[in-house]
């Protein structure tokens, strides 16, 4: 009964959080469409902004569904091992435009023979979310290093960092620090990272501070 009550409280809280997160882009979308209906409005610009809100909602829904898959046990995260460097290269290449736009340099530090105990898709998801977080929030002129060692995946940037008291909350669903509230993002990326890593038997930790960047380390058990 206690477990059932705890699960129900978690479900209700998660549903409320999802509803809140969807309500904001929906309200923006309606306001943009109302503005586009006014005479003399820049409809092309307003419709482009509306499209961005729809994409933001789509991204949020995709992340929610992915978390649901993980929690229902339909994804086996630690099934075999994957060479880390090709995945890091794939993530770097896919996010090259975003990194250039944000003026964040992405550097890889991994030997060709390093493997990590995750399925390829899971390793890609973790690496992509770590990289996207740094590109969005590290600040202009920062350098992000994606590092892989046996039993370790790390995303370390030398950007503006954040307050140390915020570090323990980074992996909460929908949590955004003050610096992140004005940026696009679902608030689920690092929650997904933690869920995948913990499901694989590992642990995640964050270090840093104002002006000292942010370092997120995913540690996996030895095999």
**pLDDT, tens digit, for every residue of 121-180?**
889 889 999 999 999 999 999 999 999 999 999 999 999 988 878 887 787 765 555 444
> Rounded to two decimals, what is the model's pTM?
0.68
194 assigned to some structural domain: yes
Average confidence (pLDDT) over 69-95? 80
DSSP string, the chain: -HHHHHHHHHHHHHHHHHHHHHHHHHHHHHHHHHHHTSTT--HHHHHHHHHHHHHHHHHHHHHHHHHHHHHTT-----SS-EEHHHHHHHHHHHTHHHHHHHT-EEEEEE-TT-EESS-HHHHHHHHHHHHHHHHHHS-TT-EEEEEEETTEEEEEE-S----GGGGGGTTSTT---GGGTTS---S-HHHHHHHHHHHTT-EEEEEE-TTS-EEEEEE----
Note the pLDDT of residue 27: 82
Higher pLDDT, 43 or 9: 43
- Domain closes at, from 39, 71, 103: 71
The domain in which residue 86 lies consists of 82-219
Q: How many structural domains is the chain composed of?
A: 2
Higher pLDDT, 204 or 40: 204
Note the pLDDT of residue 56: 72
109 lies in the same domain as 65: no
The answer on pLDDT for 49 being more than 50 is: yes
Note the pLDDT of residue 207: 93
Residue 181: pLDDT band (50, 70, 90) is very low
CATH number at residue 25: 1.10.287.130
């Amino acid at each position: 009964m206690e477990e059932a009550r705890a699960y129900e409280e978690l479900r209700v809280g998660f549903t409320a959080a999802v509803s809140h997160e969807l309500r904001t882009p929906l309200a923006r979308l309606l306001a943009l469409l109302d503005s586009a209906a006014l005479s003399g409005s820049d409809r092309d610009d307003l419709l482009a902004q509306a499209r961005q809100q729809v994409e933001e909602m789509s991204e949020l829904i995709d992340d929610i569904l992915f978390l649901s898959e993980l929690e229902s046990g339909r994804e086996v995260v630690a099934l075999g091992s994957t060479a880390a460097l090709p995945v890091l290269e794939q993530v770097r290449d896919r996010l090259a435009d975003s990194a250039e736009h944000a003026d964040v340099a992405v550097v890889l530090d991994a030997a060709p023979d390093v493997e990590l105990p995750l399925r390829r898709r899971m390793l890609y998801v973790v690496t992509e979310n770590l990289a996207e977080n740094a590109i969005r929030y590290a600040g202009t002129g920062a350098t992000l290093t994606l590092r892989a060692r046996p039993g370790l995946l790390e995303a370390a940037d030398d950007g503006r960092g954040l307050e140390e008291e915020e570090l323990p909350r980074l992996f909460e669903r929908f949590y955004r620090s003050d610096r992140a509230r004005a940026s696009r993002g679902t608030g689920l990326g690092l929650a997904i990272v933690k869920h995948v890593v913990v499901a694989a038997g590992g642990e995640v930790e964050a270090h840093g501070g104002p002006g000292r960047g942010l370092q997120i380390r995913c540690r996996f058990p030895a095999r």
